[in-house]
Amino acid sequence: MNIRIQSLLTISLLLFPLNLLAGMPGTTTRGLISAHELHSLLEDSDKNSPLVIEVGWGGPEELYDKGHIPGSIHVNTDEIEFDMFNARSSVEPKELGRSTTLEQDLAKGLTAEDTLPRNWWNIYPDKYLFPALADMGVDVNSSVILYAKDPTAAARLAWTMLYAGVSDIRIVNGGLQAWEEAGFEVSQTPVARTPVENFGTAKPLHPEYLVDIPFVRNAIVSNSSDVIIADIRTKLEYDGHAAPYSYIPTKGRIKNAHWGKAGDGPWTMESYVNADGTFKDLTEIERMWAENGITRDKHVAFYCGTAWRSSLAFYFAHMMGWERISNFDSSWYEWSMGPEAASNPIE
């Protein structure tokens, strides 16, 4: 997993609570919040403060403990997804297949003796995912603001929460760097979570935001003119000249996929994110997609290596108000290497 870190105005806008939008001059992009807007929101005692989360792979010691937005909690992305889930009681920590703590596993109802079938870095099944969100202090009515050093990590959690049913989500445009450049202080004091009793639903409120292998395979086999498979990888990956990561050695692309034009390197995403970590203009992204046949009149399913980069693309489409969008969570990893790989069309 650490290799992976080295080697995302429709009616739903109206669902955003007015208390989060009020008093925020200059807010023009759905789903984003500036450092100045967040600071004003946190300083305003007359408003209910949102839950602020720093997102990253691994524990808090890597980045969070060295300085974070005051009041924010830390969330490890392995709390929402996994590849292998080996029994904690029978293997060395490096062989767990995840970087979560025992407490984070227990929040899902998984003990040190439990194992789960291989999951190919998909998100957890709902029965485990929703308790994990509740342990973070999140339910369907929460107002959540996310930030991360890697914008794809924030988008990964944002997409997961949108799928589950949290409608009020924003990402800090520019992350902690923008916060510090605005002159605001950071804290090194850890913030304890305040778990909620339950997430508020046992089924995802937006299951359409996630598509699986049968859906993608059917779209290809039926030669559907209504579904676009958007490949959010580098041109080298898309053309079959490079593999995504060391643990995904397969080359090629999903048959008939349109290139979503990520950056030239495996994690640069410069087509979507500026050098300072801020998001590029939505009209620029929509124009770029249109040049490659990715348009809002189709059902667009985004994918990449393991659905992090595609989570960011999904989040852009969500901010644009595109109504028929999905993230193909299995992405190239399970599509090209999973148990049904021989049945999955590749070119």
Residues annotated as part of the active site: 304
Is the C-alpha dihedral spanning 277, 283, 287, 293 positive or negative? positive
Per the structure block, which two tokens stand in for 100? 């979560």
What is the distance of C-alpha 323 from the center of its chain? 18
Per DSSP, the three-state class of 290 is helix
Residue 231: closest CA among 323, 295, 304 = 304
How far from chain centre, in Å, is Cα 179? 21
And the tokens for 191? Answer: 């913030």
The whole-angstrom distance between residue 9's C-alpha and the CA centroid of its chain comes to 21
- The kind and range of the H/E element at 335 are helix 331-337
Look at the block and give the residue holding tokens 């739903």: 12
